[in-house]
Amino acid sequence: MHCTVVGAGVLGLSSALALAERGHDVEVLDKAQPGAGASGKAAGVVSTMTWHDDEFALVQETRGRLGELISLAMIEGSPAARSVWKPYDSITVGAGPSLRALDEMHDRLERLGEEPERFDFREAAAQFPGVRFAPGEEVLVAQEDGAVEPNDLVQLLLGRLENEGVSVRSGVEVRARPDAEAVVVAGGAWTPGLLSAWGHPVAAKAFRTQLASLAWPESAGAATEAPMVHDLTRGFYARPESEGSMLAGDGTQLRSFDPDAYDEAADPDFVASIAERVVQRFDAGAEARLRRGWAGLCVGTPDRRALCGAVPDADGLWVLSGDNGFGVMRCLALGERLADAVDGSPDAALDPARFRGVGDDWPLREGFGWDA
């Protein structure tokens, strides 16, 4: 089948790869460059500390597929293969009301075959020097988490697509519906507008989220020795970026944004509040300095799960979006699910038909479910 994929972010590229591997004739079109949307702005955290069993499975499958991609790219001598993935200790910190979320994640990890560790604040302080824990806090440690460098992931995917004979064209803005047997819209934050313009609105809204890169003081040792931290107490996450810097994010604004008219710079308020939280959580935080801050758009859905499958009442039109802020860590599995749907086996839990008739009157919620 001839398939046109609109959008060369991680979701579009992953679905193009899955379709091509199944023998479809695939092309990818992007109005900018591959990775120019949310994908190139992501923190790249990959964590199985999710809010739902099926989400856990999508992350785990993506991690497995990523390992295969890295092996193939190593054989081909791709430089991105060496830098795309870094494993990190990964801790989720909770206290008081957020302990319930921590308990749920803990149960899920054990039930689904991982071996998480759980510490009280004293044990955690001994295990993770440089990280500050307050009395009453508890810590869940995942064993298999890490981070991808999103631009390296885009390069790996482009390399695989080239091998599969898929053409990826940059600078091609799709306005009218392309003439292909299957059109897959994976346009990130532009997806809801594009599908509405074609007469097929879907239950998805773009929301804004922010990230800061902080220069880590040399006196604290390499930032890469710090764990990734999901801080349920203070509502932010941080992950080492390189020897000398740390990414810290949150600043999520749960209202709709226009992808063609939003501020891509971080808000001063966000920078000030993330700095405060980093100081409270890390010994080195007080000496950390802002390198840069930025914002990007993610796509939320009413149930915080992806939109992956046929667009209702539109022959030959498919959608892969609704990342709810965590599309990198699930991209390769979602690409497979999209290709399953095109081949006639949709995943009912992700099928856009579940929102038929839902309209626009639903609230955006934090994607990771830390509030669950």
Ligand X SMILES: Cc1cc2nc3c(=O)[nH]c(=O)nc-3n(C[C@H](O)[C@H](O)[C@H](O)COP(=O)(O)OP(=O)(O)OC[C@H]3O[C@@H](n4cnc5c(N)ncnc54)[C@H](O)[C@@H]3O)c2cc1C
Give the amino acid at 289.
R
Considering the complex, what minimum distance in angstroms separates the CB of residue 186 from ligand X?
Answer: 5
Q: Beta strands 228-231 and 90-94: pairing type?
A: parallel
As a whole number of angstroms, the distance between CA 278 and CA 287 comes to: 10
Give the amino acid at 142.
A
Considering the complex, what minimum distance in angstroms separates the CB of residue 125 from ligand X?
Answer: 26
**CB-nearer residue toward ligand X: 194 or 342:** 194
Cβ contact 78:155 at 8 Å:
yes
Considering the complex, what minimum distance in angstroms separates the CB of residue 251 from ligand X?
Answer: 8
**CB-nearer residue toward ligand X: 92 or 209:** 209
**CB-nearer residue toward ligand X: 119 or 247:** 247
As a whole number of angstroms, the distance between CA 70 and CA 155 comes to: 11
As a whole number of angstroms, the distance between CA 142 and CA 85 comes to: 16
**CB-nearer residue toward ligand X: 36 or 215:** 36
Q: Beta strands 182-185 and 2-6: pairing type?
A: parallel
Extract the runs of DSSP E, i.e. beta strands, from the chain: 2-6, 25-29, 45-46, 85-87, 90-94, 117-120, 138-142, 146-148, 167-169, 182-185, 205-215, 228-231, 236-242, 245-253, 289-300, 307-310, 317-321
**CB-nearer residue toward ligand X: 103 or 114:** 114
**CB-nearer residue toward ligand X: 166 or 194:** 194
> What's the gap between Cα 193 and its chain centre?
21
**CB-nearer residue toward ligand X: 175 or 344:** 175
Considering the complex, what minimum distance in angstroms separates the CB of residue 85 from ligand X?
Answer: 13
203 contacts: CB under 8 Å, gap ≥ 6 = 301, 302, 307, 352, 355, 358, 359, 360, 362
Considering the complex, what minimum distance in angstroms separates the CB of residue 211 from ligand X?
Answer: 4
Considering the complex, what minimum distance in angstroms separates the CB of residue 131 from ligand X?
Answer: 19
Considering the complex, what minimum distance in angstroms separates the CB of residue 282 from ligand X?
Answer: 18
**CB-nearer residue toward ligand X: 1 or 32:** 32
Considering the complex, what minimum distance in angstroms separates the CB of residue 121 from ligand X?
Answer: 26
**CB-nearer residue toward ligand X: 121 or 262:** 262
Considering the complex, what minimum distance in angstroms separates the CB of residue 321 from ligand X?
Answer: 5
Largest CA distance in the chain: 62
Neighbouring-strand partners of residue 117 = 141
Site for ligand X, rule CB under 6 A: 6-12, 29-32, 36-39, 41-45, 173-174, 186-190, 194, 209-211, 249, 296, 298, 321, 323, 325-329
Q: What is the DSSP string of 264-283?
A: -BPPHHHHHHHHHHHHHHBG
The single residue listed with the structure tokens 């039930």 is 111
As a whole number of angstroms, the distance between CA 191 and CA 197 comes to: 10
